[in-house]
Structure 1
């Protein structure tokens, strides 16, 4: 008698996987974080260099992950890689942190970003419009809209992988084309006097703090390293979720080839777009205009210079499309991680079950619930700042895992081997570790809480593991 147990449908091709990677990366960050990067670096040269460093790190990690994805083409991606390279404790701590904060708080933050920019078109949806007040606690219309969007996207993805991939591929293509058109029109509207101020100044490579009032402050040697790491936080956050296609390996055609290729293509596309977008900013805005952009919305300030008053509407629509598509990608991919944890007996049993549409619906709806709670808490932004350092810790561990597996399990089939091995993986490990150390030294208030959240997963693992063993 044949089993009727649902199994994943391999329906995602290379284009779908690449658009999942690119679409999950491009959210609202590229439209905002350049203001903070400009404040921390104080020069156009250093601002672009931060994006180049970020792009190099992301692409290097993606090329290295290609080897892992070819070796272990299973749903769960990074969770599976850490388990195979190290042990269940390491992978569980990642999975716990991913579920508790990394993925769910990101979904909340992207959802609220969608609502904030929707409010430019419909002011009654603004975050300052409160629908409920209980003492000092308030719920805004933006929070309610963000939850509604998360619920809608979760429902779409619960209907099957074809529904999720259609939304993802379509919206990602739209936002890539939109960004390229923004870049094109931006360069067409280039102001030579602004470009010359940014790029022909003698201080083009001076690393210093740029204050809102236009004054500069020089850094000490150690302070300069802290400024670089602080600037990288925004860039790395804007480039995160680049590993999304690895999480849905069970639904990708020819995963040994297409996952690694989608990681390389997706991260390359986004890196080029991000660098070109920031170059465009420096052609229409001087650094003082960037750091003084209302609520750091550099793209809106640039669009006003390019398109006039109508520019705000153009960017608002672009960010709505961008954040909607971004959330679809991270909702789709995140649920597969919890599914893999449940398959290992380390999460709620039902989370490891596929519904009649061959998707982990329980995992999707549980993720939706936690993300919605983060929306209501209003604390997702603080948590994301705290967790950036921990995210890089797990990336460094996974990249190091490639080297470790070469020695501990040399006979495993490797359909694809990491490009530039061992030089590029070692470079990433050095750069990532340097970033982590600098953040611990210069931004302990942001990094220590994130590490504590991750370490809380250790006792939870032993409790869950003990319970699992008692039931065996």
Structure 2
């Protein structure tokens, strides 16, 4: 009874503190905008090297899109049950126990959100350097002796700090940036795809799709390698690391549930609409790549920048400027969504006594400003480290594990909390959620077997949260 009263009390305080000022369009733009960063412009090169054929390149994106939409539809039920700040952290805590929720929140803060913010920030800076060469990642701005810092890293930090500051001034400011930049990049991407399909090169299309389902390795030098049947499955899983990273962050909208109007309706709907639109864009963008570039050029694109090569093929020399501007818009808007949403998880953790106490307070603009600045510091440190890329490869495994646990939580909560109001129920239950879980298990198992370097570092980061959790509990008990 005491726990129920305390929970009710927290919900009342939250509803009085946060302002529900985000509508369906805003929520959908947060879903789509947080998903589309720099991945779609880059990761197809690595996918092509792993699968070696146009058919399997598209198949990887279709499988990832199907998994993403299926998960998003399942999350709709959870968002309707718990329309409060914190999203996935809350779902895991309610379905399992506070430790499982904390391990997600810890991983989210340590790497998932903060390293992603850093990676997207540096991507913004790298493509800005196409227009302003002095900001190149290959130059040295500061030499510390043990490490050098590039102008691109410094610009990344400036962007992260700027967006953090803007978001401390209220959710309306973040909403304006998110909606404006996301609509701009959606229209720009549709435009690029349309031009690419119009400028189709029949000989390239024919060459790429003549033997479209021959799964093999494709080296940057044109060498071709074969797979055994088992290794081929491992190659598909390895290829999906990039597509899953590019399709991640769709759940960010659940973190800001307390600021969305009619959350029981709009969160589930925005999850579906946002993931559907992005999946369509990702698949058609890759079809366009195979329309204008030979597979070998996709696999060997300079620094994996497939979109730059495609834009150059479509627009000539002006293509570099076109794609640089598009990626700058895309990454700026993406980082705004990540920064806006992330701090709400720390807010709820702090309310539970499992994060810095100050992160659980709202400023006069009704946003968790301290949480935003703590996140900002962590993301800036990752920007300086230069190791966020490898970490994000390693964390893809953990991200899918937490998605699976959350979807399994739907089954647990239907049995554990049958009387809880469910304004929206998971689409295709139980078939669709089970299908996602099976696909997620296959992906994770194949990575464990064939790409263990993508699994154990992420698990270590997660398990480091266990002693931290018990230290936090001990401090709680001591204060009490």
Say yes or no: TM over 0.5: yes
SS at match of 1:261: helix
Task: Provide the secondary structure at the position in 1 that maps to 2:142.
Answer: strand
Shift >6 Å, 4+ stretches:
3-6
Give the number of equivalent residue pairs: 468
Name the CA shift for 1:288/1:406 in 2 (closer, same or farther; >3 Å): same
Structure 1 residue runs of 5 or longer lacking an equivalent are none
Cα deviations by residue, 1:260-282 (Å, 9 ceiling, x for unpaired): 00000000000000001000111
Separation of aligned partners in 2, 1:418 and 1:84: 17
Counterpart position of 2:347:
339
**Long gaps (5+) in structure 2:** 1-12
Match of 1:141 in 2: 151
1:215 Cα deviation (Å)?
A: 2.4
Does residue 132 in structure 1 map to residue 142 in structure 2? yes
| Distance in structure 2 (CA, Å) of the matches to 1:5 and 1:103 | 25
CA contact (8 A) 2:251 2:271 kept: yes
The 8 Å contact of residues 15 and 258 in structure 2, kept in 1 or not, is answered as no
Partner of 1:295: 303
- The 2-side partners of 1:144 and 1:6 are apart by 39
Which aligned pairs between 1:428-467 and structure 2 lie closer than 5 A? 428-467=436-475
2:62 corresponds to: 52
| Superimposed CA distance per residue, residues 30-68 of structure 1 (whole angstroms, 9 cap, x where no aligned partner) | 000001111101110000000000000000000000000
- Please state how far the C-alpha of 1:134 moved relative to its aligned partner: 2.1
CA contact (8 A) 1:6 1:355 kept: no
Deviation at residue 212 of structure 1 after TM alignment: 1.5
1:100 aligns with 2:116: no
Contact between 1:186 and 1:306, CA under 8 Å: does it hold in 2? Answer: yes
Pair 1:365 & 2:368 matched: no
Deviation of 1:74 after TM superposition, in Å, equals 0.5
Q: Is 1:75 paired with 2:51?
A: no
- Choose the corresponding residue for 1:426, options 415, 431, 434: 434
Superposition deviation, residue 136 in structure 1: 3.6
Quick check: 1:63 aligned with 2:73?
yes
Shift of 1:446: 2.1
Distance in 2 between residues matched to 1:410 and 1:58, nearest whole Å: 26
1:406 corresponding residue in structure 2: 414
SS across alignment from 2:225: strand
Does residue 1:383 correspond to 2:408, yes or no?
Answer: no
Given the alignment of the two structures, is residue 308 of structure 1 paired with residue 307 of structure 2, yes or no?
Answer: no
Shift of 1:5: 11
Separation in 2, partners of 1:9, 1:123: 43
- Cα distance in 1, alignment partners of residues 90 and 308 from structure 2: 40
Structure 2 counterpart of 1:233, from 241, 245, 249: 241
Query: How far, CA to CA, are the matches of 2:356 and 2:304 in structure 1?
Result: 41
State the partner residue of 1:15. 25
Q: Does 1:283 align with 2:291?
A: yes
CA distance in structure 2 between the partners assigned to 1:5 and 1:242 by the alignment: 24
Determine the structure 1 residue equivalent to 2:362: 354
Match of 2:167 among 152, 157, 161: 157
Aligned residues of 1:335 and 1:363 also touching (Cα < 8 A) = yes
- What secondary structure, in the 3-state scheme, does the structure 2 residue paired with 1:130 have? coil
Do the aligned partners of 1:19 and 1:168 also contact (CA within 8 Å) in 2? Answer: yes
